[in-house]
């Protein structure tokens, strides 16, 4: 089966064999390695993408179900000629260490900030679906505190 979707503003197509996840299609079929696969169960947040404007775990979405949708990956978050404000804040604060969880945190933080959760417990709750094994979360929270949409 061939699926066609809009990824980071461009119409893209990929062949799908069986019950492949959107994550697999993004990474292997469309050569977008920014979205990471760790738990493959929707628990860690490393595979987060925006699907028609909603933050989802791409490992839980069947690629066939993404037909005709719009997907934004971490590669599509960067502003023209520069980083997205969340990416820039995390890089400046050293909140990236190994970088494996970073793409998921970037998307989750962008969604949280856009939704008004820019500080304290609201931000922590919005990021609770993302797991980091390197930073202890302190640098990530400091980087994101006070960012506004």
- Indicate the burial class of 9 (C-beta count within 10 angstroms; 0-12, 13-18, 19 or more): exposed
- Mean pLDDT within 60-79: 94
Is 53 part of any domain? Answer: yes
| Residue 35 pLDDT exceeds 80 | yes
Residue 49's CATH number: 3.10.20.30
As a whole number of angstroms, the distance between CA 129 and CA 137 comes to 12
CATH code (residue 118)? 1.10.150.120
Q: Residue 93: what pLDDT?
A: 87
Q: What is the pLDDT of residue 73?
A: 96
Q: Please check whether residues 72 and 89 belong to one and the same domain.
A: no
Q: Do 8 and 69 fall into the same domain?
A: yes
Q: Are residues 72 and 95 in the same domain?
A: no
Do residues 95 and 36 both lie within one domain?
no
The answer to whether residue 65 scores a pLDDT higher than 90 is yes
Mean pLDDT value of segment 26-54: 93
Alpha helix stretches (DSSP H) within 18-101: 22-24, 85-92
Kindly tell me if the per-residue pLDDT of 148 is higher than 80.
Answer: no
pLDDT number for residue 57:
96
pLDDT, position 75: 94
- One domain, residues 69 and 133: no
> From residue 140, how far is each of 89, 100, 124 by CA, in Å?
9, 13, 10
From 76, 99, 125, the end of a domain falls on 76
* One domain for residues 7 and 72: yes
Distance of CA 88 to the CA centre of its chain: 15
Residue 39: inside a domain = yes
Structural domain boundaries enclosing 114: 85-144
pLDDT given at position 118: 65
Q: Does residue 52 contact residue 69 with C-beta atoms inside 8 Å?
A: yes
66 and 39 in one domain?
Answer: yes
In a domain, 149, yes or no: no
In the chain, how many domains are there?
2
């Amino acid at each position: 089966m061939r699926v066609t979707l809009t990824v980071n503003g461009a119409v893209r197509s990929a062949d799908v064999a069986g019950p492949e996840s959107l994550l697999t299609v993004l990474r292997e079929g469309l050569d977008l390695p920014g979205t990471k696969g760790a738990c493959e169960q929707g628990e860690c947040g490393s595979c987060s993408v925006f699907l028609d404007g909603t933050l989802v775990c791409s490992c839980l979405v069947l690629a066939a179900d993404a037909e005709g949708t719009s997907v934004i990956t971490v590669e599509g978050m960067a502003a023209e000629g520069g980083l997205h404000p969340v990416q820039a804040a995390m890089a400046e604060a050293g909140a990236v260490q190994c970088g494996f969880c970073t793409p998921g945190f970037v998307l989750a933080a962008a969604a949280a900030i856009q939704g008004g959760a820019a500080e304290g417990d609201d931000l922590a709750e919005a990021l609770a679906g993302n797991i980091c094994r390197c930073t202890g979360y302190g640098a990530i929270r400091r980087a994101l505190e006070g960012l506004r949409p």
